[in-house]
Structure formats: C-alpha cells, structure tokens
Structure 1
Amino acid sequence: MDEKSPMFVISVAAELAGMHPQTLRQYDRLGLVSPSRTPGKSRRYSMRDVVQLREIAALSGEGVSLEGIRRVLQLENRVAHLEERVRELEGALADEMLNRPGSRVFASSSEGEVISLKTGTRVRRQNQVVVWRPLDQRS
C-alpha cells in the first residue's frame, strides 16, 4: 500500500483530519478532496487525502477562502505531477547515457546556439582582454 491507496471510511478520515464527516462531504462536493468510491458509492479516503484535509484546515484557519484553498491545492498537485515527470525523464536520461557510452554532449554558444561536442571535450571560451580608449583622449 502507498499513500494513494483508498483505505479509510469517512468517519475515520474525519477523525484523522480533525473534522466533522459533513465537512468532508462538503469538500468532496466542492472538489477540494475527491476520495475514491467503492462499487456501493461509499467514500474511501487515502492517507494523501487526509494530509490534504489537514492542509485545508490549516489554510482555512489562516483565513484563506475555499476558492483560494482550491487554487493552492490545484497548484500543489500540478507541482507534484511535474516533479514526478522530471524524475521519470531523469531516469530515462540516465538509462540512455548508460546504454550509449561515448555519445555526444551538447553545449550552448554565447549566442544561444546548440553546439555538439564529443564526450570529454570542453568549449573553448573567449578570454582575451579588450582595451578601449576614446579617440579624443590621446596619451
């Protein structure tokens, strides 16, 4: 089981979140927390749902409106989804690098163009010093 496994009936989830079961029903209607449903249509809350309920209570206690709370939760869920996607892509990149040793590496030029490099080489940087002196001042 993981944090997303639906396992708590509404009375247990309400007790864990420190809320009344009717509050959980209201939040479900508003779409703030959407628990899973059994074939008989009973709500089943996961540990993640309980954590979200606690967060709703904390934000509400700080004076955030229900619409504001909905938006905060929506953004947090989006961030979590994007973090998961980043981990997937990092894993795919690591697998690709292991499967293709000696493949090419890419860098960016000072103008923003992509430069292809062989593994182990470095970009040559411009390190000359340029002295500028106005024409009207002669030494």
Structure 2
Amino acid sequence: MSDQSRRKPSASERSRALYVISVAAELAGVHAQTLRIYERKGLVAPARTPGGSRRYSDRDIALLNRISELTSEGLNLAGVKRVLELEERVVALERELAETRSEAAALVAETRRQYRRDLVPVPRTDLVPRPGTGPAAST
C-alpha cells in the first residue's frame, strides 16, 4: 500500500463534491430517491454543478451513513435532523471549550510569570545564631 493511499484526506478533499447521485446512493446503501427526500427535508445539501446536477462529497457520504444509522435505530427524519443538529452543536461547544481552556492556561501561566517578576529576593538572615557565631561567641 502506498503512502498516498494510506494518508488521511484533507478537509478540502473530504468536502470536494465528486459523486453523482447514483454513485452517492450506492455508496450510502440507499436509493437515489431517498437522497432527494433527505435533501428536501434539509438533512443533506449536496453541491450543484452549473447545470443543476447534484454532486456529493465524502463528507456527504459520511453524513448519509450517519442518517442511515439513526433511521435503522428507529428515528424518523425529524428526529434524525434534531440529532444531527445536536451533534453539530456538541462539536462546536467542545471546540469552544478547548479554546477557552487553552486561553485560561495561557492566562494562568502569564499570571505566574508576573508573580515571579514581582518577587524581591531577600538576603537570608538566620533568626537563631549558629553555635559559635553571634555576640555570645565573641566574648
């Protein structure tokens, strides 16, 4: 297997609309008419050629597979749409949380650096004289 075939496709490659409706339907394991219904219901939005033909991307195929999973679990199309919306929202919130955590960590690190700059070194003085030192030793 070559390095080219093992590498993960980039985001732009996954979103490139390559497949006509019949190929997309076959890849997703559904009928082409089902894809048209999904589009009418707002579940998938394939790209369009200048002539108006639908073109599906690898990302669309993955979405179609997810829709198939959800419908096989008993959800109707309205339920599938809601689940997909919620899954998308979860991804967005996880991304936002990761950014917030990163920003917070950077602020904590900067605050610690600031505290270190504000510390003033104090020469060490013994509170208790060591044996053989101090005023009593000189007499």
> For residues 85 and 4 of structure 1, do their structure 2 counterparts lie closer, same or farther at Cα, with a shift above 3 Å needed?
farther
Pairwise CA distance, 1:48: 1.5
Identity, % of aligned positions: 48
Over the aligned positions, Cα root-mean-square deviation in angstroms equals: 2.9
Corresponding residue number in structure 1 for 2:67? 56
Q: Deviation per CA, 1:83-116: give whole Å up to 9, x if none.
A: 344455567x39x94xx9x7325xxxxxxxxxxx
Give the Å deviation of 1:80.
2.4
2:84 paired with 1:104: no
Aligned residue in 1 for 2:30: 19
Post-superposition Cα deviations, 1:16-75, rounded to whole Å, max 9, x if no partner, equal 100111100110010011112222221111111111111111211121111100100111
If asked which structure has higher relative contact order (CA below 8 Å, sep 6+), I would say 2
Rate the CA distance shift 1:83–1:62 in 2: closer, same or farther, 3 A.
same
Q: Secondary structure at the match of 1:103?
A: helix
Take 1:83 and 1:4, find their aligned partners in 2: how far apart are those partners? 22
- Are 1:7 and 2:36 matched, yes or no? no
The number of aligned residues is 104
TM-score by length of 2: 0.61
Letter in 1 for 2:110: S
Determine the structure 2 residue equivalent to 1:41: 52
When you count helix as a share of all residues, which structure comes out higher?
2
Once the two structures are overlaid, the 10-residue window that deviates more, 43-52 or 19-28, is 43-52
Q: What does residue 122 of structure 2 align with?
A: none
Displacement of 1:81: 2.9
One-letter code of the match for 2:60?
D
Counterpart residue identity of residue 51, structure 1: A
Structure 2 residue 77 is the aligned partner of structure 1 residue 118: no
Give the letter aligned to residue 58 of structure 2.
Answer: M
Query: For residues 111-131 of structure 1, what are the alpha-carbon distances to aligned partners after superposition, in whole Å with 9 as ceiling and x for unaligned?
Result: xxxxxx8369xxxxxxxxxxx
- Change in Cα spacing, 1:5 to 1:72, as seen in structure 2 (3 Å) is same
Instruction: Give the equivalent residue in structure 1 for 2:132.
Output: none
